Amino acid sequence: MRFFKENKQEKYDKERFYGAYIHDLRRYYEIPQKDLAKVLHVSKSTWSKMESGQQNMDYGMFHQCIDYFKKIDPDYDFNEKVSKLSEAGQWIDFCLQGFINLSYFDKLDEIKTYLDQEENKHSFAYFQYCLIEQFYDLFSNKGSMKAIEKLIDSGYFLDPYHLAILYDLKGIIEDFTIVSSIQVQIEHLKTALSYAKQSENIALIGLIEYHLNYHYSDVNDLIRAMDMVEQAKDHFQRSGCYRRLISVQVNEANIYMKMRIYSKAESIYKSLSIQREQIKNYFLESTLYENLAWCNFLQENDEKALDYALQAKEEGSTFPDVDIVLVFSNYRLKRFEKAREFAKSFLKKDSTSERAKFIKLFMHLVLQGLDSKTDPCDLADQIQSQLSSFQMVELEIPFYTLLVDFYQSEKKYEQALKYQGLLVNYLKFDFNNH
């Protein structure tokens, strides 16, 4: 691996590793900085500079630290095999390829086996190990921006390839709904894209463009989202990443749906459903049915929407927006008992995501509206105050429609007109020029 070629960069990287690794080790064992500095007979300010990379730590000082930690923890050891670096580098490439090609679902056990070996962690490949750990957390639907930030701030990774990966992970590892938080993620992804272009890794460039595409779509910046679609499609085509290419095409259809060009969106979904059998893609197992359900729901093709929503559930869909279709399409078809049944079923689910919690508020509103016992104004205000934070849910049509129906049935026409006006304004909103 290039890290250990004899050049000036090797010396700097090694010395940066020493300080950064000991910093993490000291924090793990909860040793105050001043105490370790005293043991090593250096001033606290000098030691602080070594840990932060402002001053280099030599191999002798590094080994004194290792010996110190071995004394306080007999189970601790440090593996000095240089081969651990090239091995970890191969694992990073393995994880990235699995991510790009959507083939990581059956590789989690392999990755965990590598991570479970302490000799891989406490070695010269420590920071590479931490990056592999972040991939594992991502694949397991956990992880945090804070952990990625810590890796970046260590100053260990200097090359564009690893920095592109880190900033890409930072931009996607957490699922935000608030627009301002997504905008921050977009900035991280822009940084990642800049590094990826320096690394000249076409597949990685395509992956980051794909992530930018759906974040732009989340904040309704649809022109930029479509631009990213075209670029990602080109890079995935050139690099032979056909599973990801299909995923990008799904996002393309989603953008057409947001633009209310429903015929184009449906055409892409149906074309992809044919390809689904040709190219095994875990991403497509329920996604196509989810999107077809929503596309028909927005057009008030409720019978079709329900058929697709039920097929999505049969495919194992856990996407909470599908439940909106099951409830509100039945409501519009005046199958009120069915709507009530699906709403209650959703409320019984142990959902922890912010998106699901928001949708649960709507389910309570549906039940309150069906019972027509009390004015739902408080619950309606609570939902309305969160609509801008959950733009990607697109709850406005069922939400306003439900309130118009309720207030009309109660002969409260002023309130009915208020929500009718909000619904009309939403339907007139031009997402194409947003």
Predicted confidence (pLDDT) at residue 242 exceeds the cutoff of 80: yes
Is 237 a domain residue? no
Res. 339 pLDDT band, cuts 50 70 90: very high
CA 106 to chain CA centroid, Å, is 19
Looking at the fold, whether 411 and 358 belong to one and the same domain comes out as: yes
Is 369 a domain residue? yes
* Residue 352 confidence (pLDDT): 79
Looking at the fold, whether 7 and 52 belong to one and the same domain comes out as: yes
Query: Which of the listed residues 72, 92, 110 is the one where a domain comes to its end?
Result: 72
Predicted confidence (pLDDT) at residue 432 exceeds the cutoff of 90: no
Q: How far apart are CA 308 and CA 59, in angstroms?
A: 63
* Residue 1 confidence (pLDDT): 33
Looking at the fold, whether 354 and 269 belong to one and the same domain comes out as: no
Is 353 a domain residue? yes
Number of neighbouring beta carbons within 10 Å of residue 51: 21
* Residue 2 confidence (pLDDT): 34
Count of structural domains, the chain? 3
Residue 260: give its domain's CATH number: 1.25.40.10
- What element of type H or E holds 355? helix 354-371
Looking at the fold, whether 400 and 340 belong to one and the same domain comes out as: yes
Looking at the fold, whether 304 and 344 belong to one and the same domain comes out as: no
Q: How far apart are CA 216 and CA 269, in angstroms?
A: 20
Q: How far apart are CA 126 and CA 128, in angstroms?
A: 6
Is 304 a domain residue? yes
* Residue 277 confidence (pLDDT): 64
Number of neighbouring beta carbons within 10 Å of residue 43: 12
pLDDT digits (tens, 9 = 90+) for 176-219: 878 889 999 999 999 999 999 999 999 999 999 999 998 999 99
Query: Which of the listed residues 72, 101, 128 is the one where a domain comes to its end?
Result: 72
pLDDT digits (tens, 9 = 90+) for 128-183: 999 999 999 999 988 899 999 999 999 999 999 999 999 999 999 998 878 889 99
Is 98 a domain residue? no
* Residue 338 confidence (pLDDT): 97
* Residue 280 confidence (pLDDT): 60
Is 424 a domain residue? yes
| Residues of the domain holding 271 | 247-319
Q: Across residues 366-371, what is the average pLDDT?
A: 92
Residue 36: give its domain's CATH number: 1.10.260
Predicted confidence (pLDDT) at residue 244 exceeds the cutoff of 70: yes
Looking at the fold, whether 314 and 346 belong to one and the same domain comes out as: no
Is 87 a domain residue? no
Looking at the fold, whether 351 and 377 belong to one and the same domain comes out as: yes
Look at 327 and 392; give whichever has higher pLDDT: 327
Looking at the fold, whether 49 and 19 belong to one and the same domain comes out as: yes
Is 197 a domain residue? no
Looking at the fold, whether 288 and 253 belong to one and the same domain comes out as: yes
Note the pTM of the prediction, 2 decimals. 0.86
Look at 373 and 3; give whichever has higher pLDDT: 373
